[in-house]
């Protein structure tokens, strides 16, 4: 596992999710999230995961699959009526997944 990729991926995912959440909260009424949050949340999660894959130069399909699995704590949080408990755990899990995907990085000596 590449620990550097893991923490940078988690940080990038967290920041991008925060930016998307703030933009959507400012741009859309609360009723939108009550009616369509079930679609908006996973779509935002997936788009931020794809951004993470792109910036970190990781294969997008495995990152997207890992994001789907890492998003399950968020689903549990929604079911328990504590939505914001899940995403921090999902961000950590996705970071670990990305670090695992990157594998050990070989030191380049010149």
Residue 107 lies in a domain: no
- The number of domains in the chain is 1
Q: Identify whether the C-beta of residue 104 lies closer than 8 Å to the C-beta of residue 3.
A: no
pLDDT tens column, 40-97: 989 999 999 999 999 999 999 999 999 999 988 878 887 888 877 888 999 999 999 9
Cβ proximity of 74 and 41 under 8 Å: yes
**Selection from 100, 88, 18 nearest residue 63 by Cα:** 100
**Structure pTM?**
0.86
Helix (H, G, I), strand (E, B) or coil at 44: helix
Q: In this structure, is residue 17 part of a structural domain? A: yes
Q: Establish if 68 belongs to a structural domain.
A: yes
Whole domain around residue 53: which residue ranges? 3-102
Report if residue 54 sits inside a domain: yes
Residue at 57 is within a domain? yes
Q: Is residue 93 part of a domain?
A: yes
Does any domain span residue 86?
Answer: yes
3-state secondary structure of 92: helix
62 belongs to a structural domain: yes
Residue 108 has pLDDT above 70, yes or no: no
């Amino acid at each position: 596992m590449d620990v550097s990729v893991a923490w940078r991926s988690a940080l990038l995912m967290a920041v991008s999710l925060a930016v998307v959440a703030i933009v959507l909260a400012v741009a859309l009424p609360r009723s939108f999230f009550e009616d369509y949050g079930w679609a908006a949340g996973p779509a935002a999660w997936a788009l931020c995961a794809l951004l993470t894959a792109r910036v970190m130069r990781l294969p997008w399909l495995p990152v997207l699959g890992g994001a789907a699995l890492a998003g399950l704590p968020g689903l549990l949080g929604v079911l328990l009526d504590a939505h914001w408990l899940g995403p921090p755990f999902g961000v950590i899990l996705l970071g670990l997944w990305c670090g695992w995907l990157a594998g050990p990085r070989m030191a380049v000596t010149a």
